[in-house]
Structure 1
Amino acid sequence: MSNELLYQVALPLIPHVGGGTARTLVKHFGSAEAVFAAAPEKLRKTPRIGEVITKSILQSRINALRQAEEVMQRAEKEEVQLLPFTHADYPQRLQHVPDAPLLLYYKGTADLNALKVVSIVGTRKSTDYGRQVTEQIVQGLVQHEVLVVSGLAFGIDILAHKAALKHGLPTVGVMANSVETVYPTAHQRDAENMLRHGGLLSEFPFGTKPDAPRFPSRNRIIAGMADCTIVVESTSKGGSLISADIAHSYDREVMAVPGPITSETSQGCNQLIRSLKAVPYTKPKDLEELLNWDKALAPRSLSKPVQAAPTLSLSSFPEEEQIILRALQQAGPLHIDVLCRHTRFNISQVSSLLFTLEMSGWVKALPGKQYLLV
């Protein structure tokens, strides 16, 4: 185990240092280890790091390192992967969101960077309609070999996990507590099956209980890991609306299953559609067309052109624009998420670069967040 990993595990254990703060510190100082070695005045001068966080780091760093050693020993014993932000297996889609965790705890077999990932969420008080629709959605995902993500909760979440297991799709449960404890306990057997055909994922260290404030935090991971978040059923103030709002804020696709206006569990979905935060899901083709799976998200080789590409000299463009243009030149039309993964730029960088290139007439935006070199 590397020395840097020890510090990456320890940093989020310091009080008041959340995912966004931890990443700000690591980016500023160059490594997690350098954060622990930083002088007080340098910590205070770090952007967005005030006196409270500086004091917390100085007072807690020794204890955090002791805890991190224990965490690493326990993780090795219980076969839990520690995935720091820089790890190759860390979900790349999640890396592109501003408040991604610095560290994830993962137990399972699924590829968190599967080519296609969909999150399915909904009310804990699911109806027969919700159960039927969840089954239909998952059946439609089989031909695309999708990784199904949800929150292991009662209702739509566990139905999505069960349907994925039934149809042979990998499925990952994102937890609001630590990975060694299944919550709710009624889903223990399902969780054990998921470890063999998917996995359990959390940002919380061993011993963390599923307290209420941690569920919204968990929801950002569910939203950030996926190409699209589908809300099956939700009341007007349902927790799954938080996942949908977060996915929308990340500029990720959101779908909602419309339902009867007389049904309480359809109010949230109808509200998402009415406010234009979500596209209606009525059949599998709706999702396929939204994500351009037949074209944009199919595997591509950037080393060989898939079609005749415009001849364009890139030397006159800024370096970052060259990277975007070269990807489009070699691969043809690409979805913005695919561009993020190929270029290793975050979604904000890619969006800004594409906007500049589009305004200059070099790139054209196509339906479904797909872009083409003109």
Structure 2
Amino acid sequence: MDFDDLLYVMALQHVPNLGDTTSRKLISHFGSAKKIFSEKTSSLLRIDGIGKKRIEGLYDKIHLKAAEQELKFIQSNQIKVLYFEDPDYPEKLKHCPDAPLLLFSRGNIDLKKRRIISIVGTRQITQHGIAFCEKLIEDLAVLDPVIISGFAYGVDITAQKAAVKHGLQTIGCLAHGLDQIYPKSHKKYMAQIENNGGFLTDFWSSDKFERNNFLKRNRIIAGISEATVVIESAEKGGALVTADIANSYDREVFAVPGRPGDKYSSGCNGLIKTQQAHVLTSAADIAYILNWDVEEKQSVVQKQLFVDLEQDEQKLYEFLKDQGKTELDHLALTCNFPTFKTASLLLNMELKGVVRPLPGKLFEVV
């Protein structure tokens, strides 16, 4: 998109009552943002859903002046701008009805043909939550997913630090412009995040920093990914809002179950109880529900010489090593495990690169 086109798209974005959905409708109808500003009011009002309130102040020159000022900031800070029709605009987000007209990014973001999941949760993460989050990302690393979060305290920063540790791309979706960072204490992580992904936002540097921005930001976290994972959450909170948005986009949602009565498990337990989320107990659950091809990815990953197996996994491994190819049901019966547990254990073992599935529900040691 050239400078002139971008200027008018940003001017359109600056009009208070339009919003992203209405703006996209107008651009689609007239062919470009620039043409909208040269149309008569009567032409605009003939479009279904466009009322006087929507286009109030549209022709005020303040919008172009504001866009010019913001473009100066963008150019001087080497910020990349993604228009919703650009090929680099996140594909899944593009199909959300309220997707942003523009996204502003910084770093080394590459979302083309990638597995993408969002990880969210409470800012008051427990030690159990930290351990689960770190283990989840460690086990997912073989599948090379992109980890999306909000760069906030608690679950967000735990997930993004773990992603960096394991060489995964991670993206922080911000609730403010790229002229600042919140929380300020996370400034020390910015370079690592930008080297391993980056930051995204649809807010301008001139936008006020306010509470409602976080709720608006959550639609990007939910819409950009295949699935949203809630690690820990109280009965109310931004993570549950994100999960609700993800469900409205027909995306998968996962929640980590916890003990009844635990404050930061109540939100997750509620999602599971009301069938708004899949139970998440390990990385294998994500690979199974999202139908990620584990074997395909492992073909380019060198098999580890020493792999830590849980006691039950070790039992299955030793049986398969001794007996060779074995059918799932027979394996479960012989090792005295329920079939559903055996399937889950085998998926975990696939992620660790020690077994592989074969046609006919057969499994063998790699």
* Cα pair 2:125 2:154 within 8 Å, conserved: yes
The alignment status of 1:90 with 2:101, answered yes or no, reads: no
Matched residues in 2 for 1:118 and 1:141: separation?
A: 11
Q: Which residue of 1 aligns with 2:18?
A: 17
Separation (CA, whole Å) in 1 of partners of 2:243 and 2:215: 11
- Which residue of the partner structure matches residue 197 of structure 2? 198
Counterpart contact for 2:143–2:294, Cα < 8 Å: no
1:38 aligns with 2:53: no
Correspondence 1:72-111 to 2 at 5 A: 72-111=71-110
Alignment of 1:145 onto 2:144: yes
Give the TM-score normalised by the residue count of structure 1: 0.76
Distance 1:296 1:102 in 2: 38
- Letter matched to residue 200 of structure 1: F
Partner AA of 1:156 in structure 2 = V
Output one character per residue of 1:207-264: Cα deviation in whole Å (capped at 9) or x when no partner. Answer: 3243111111100000000001000000011210000000000000100001111210
Task: Give the secondary structure class of the aligned counterpart of 1:52.
Answer: coil
Cα separation, 2, equivalents of 1:6 and 1:75 = 12
Q: What residue is the counterpart of 1:274 in the other structure?
A: 273
Corresponding letter in the other structure for 2:170: T
The answer to whether the Cα contact below 8 Å between 1:116 and 1:297 also exists between their aligned partners in 2 is no
1:114 and 1:147 in contact (8 A); partners too: no
Question: What is the Cα deviation at residue 112 of structure 1?
Answer: 3.1
In structure 2, relative to structure 1, the CA distance for the partners of 1:181 and 1:213 (3 Å cut) is same
What TM-score does the superposition give when structure 2 sets the normalisation length?
Answer: 0.78
Checking the alignment, whether the CA contact within 8 Å between 1:115 and 1:297 is kept in structure 2 is no
Question: What is the alpha-carbon distance in structure 1 between the residues aligned to residue 254 and residue 208 of structure 2?
Answer: 31
Post-superposition offset of 1:296:
12
Conservation of the 8 A alpha-carbon contact between 1:228 and 1:254: yes
In structure 2, the residue matched to 1:112 is 111
Q: How much does 1:206 deviate?
A: 1.2
1:156 — aligned with what?
Answer: 155
C-alpha contact 1:183 1:210 (8 A) present in aligned 2: no
* CA distance in structure 2 between the partners assigned to 1:206 and 1:4 by the alignment: 20
Taking a change above 3 Å as real, the CA distance of residues 247 and 240 of structure 1, as seen in their structure-2 partners, is: same
Instruction: Answer yes or no: is the 8 Å Cα contact 1:176–1:214 preserved in 2.
Output: yes
For this pair of structures, how many residues does the alignment match?
A: 296
Q: Which amino acid aligns with 1:46?
A: I
| Greater mean alpha carbon deviation, residues 80-89 or residues 67-76 | 67-76
Bigger Cα displacement from structure 2, 251-260 vs 48-57:
48-57
In 1, the alpha carbon distance for the partners of 2:209 and 2:291 equals 37
Please name the residue that 2:352 is paired with: none
Partner of 1:211: 210
SS at structure 2 position matched to 1:57: coil
- Which residue of structure 1 aligns with residue 64 of structure 2? 65
Larger radius of gyration: 2
Kept in 1, the 8 Å contact 2:18–2:55? The answer is no
What pairs with 1:160-179 in structure 2 (closer than 5 Å)? 160-179=159-178
Superposed, 1:3-14 pairs within 5 Å as 3-14=4-15
Structure 1: which amino acid aligns with 2:106?
K
| Equivalent position of 2:222 in the other structure | 223
Q: Distance in 2 between matches of 1:44 and 1:283?
A: 53
Q: Could you tell me how far apart the structure 2 residues matched to 1:48 and 1:185 are?
A: 41
Q: Who is 2:133 aligned against? A: 134
Change (3 A) 1:296 1:49: farther
Query: Is the partner of 1:113 in helix, strand or coil?
Result: coil
Q: RMSD value over aligned CA atoms? A: 1.6
Q: 1:18: Cα distance to partner?
A: 1.5
Unaligned residue ranges in structure 1 (runs of 5+): 299-374
1:1-57 per-residue CA deviation (whole Å, 9 max, x = no partner) reads: 342122122211111122112112112222111211221111112222211122221
1:295 deviates by: 7.7
- Quick check: 1:71–1:206 contact (8 Å CA) kept in 2? yes
| Alignment-derived partner of residue 247 in structure 2 | 248
Partners of 1:22 and 1:296 lie apart in 2 by: 44
Is residue 82–residue 89 contact of structure 2 (8 Å, CA) maintained in 1? yes
Secondary structure class of the residue paired with 2:292: coil
